[in-house]
Amino acid sequence: MTGEKTFMGKVVKPIEGGAYRLLHIDPSEEMGWRRYLACVLAFSAASLIVVMVLLMCQGWLPGNPQWALRHELGSRLQHRGQLRDQHQLAGLFG
């Protein structure tokens, strides 16, 4: 924070400088509370949108174990589920 040298400074300093240049940030400029609040709210909104999209699409994402199982077994699982549902309906209607 005060500009002192640290053990990771040689690794982190170029990455930090690149991020500052990319985002047009002046590290010597102070950030007021209103700007800080706007940044926190914008980051929170963007995070919420990303997480919501991931949750809505998780059935199609390849890392989902059920996705692999569904594609591996295919229609057999669907058929088994339909048979189970039909059996439960038959039990309800006698």
- With vertex at residue 80, the alpha carbon angle to CA 66 and CA 65, rounded to the nearest 5 degrees, is 5
Task: Determine the straight-line distance between the first and last CA of the chain, rounded to whole angstroms.
Answer: 74
Helices (H), 1-94: 9-23, 33-57, 65-73, 75-93
Number of domains in the chain: 1
What is the CA 48 to chain-centroid distance, rounded?
9
- Whether 7 maps to a domain, the answer reads no
Q: Residue 45 in contact with residue 52, Cβ under 8 Å? A: no
Q: What is the pLDDT along the chain (94 residues), one digit of tens a residue?
A: 577 788 888 888 899 999 999 988 898 889 899 999 999 999 999 999 999 998 888 877 777 766 656 655 555 555 555 556 666 666 666 5
> Could you tell me if residue 16 is inside a domain?
no
79 within domain boundaries = yes
Domain that holds residue 90: 62-94
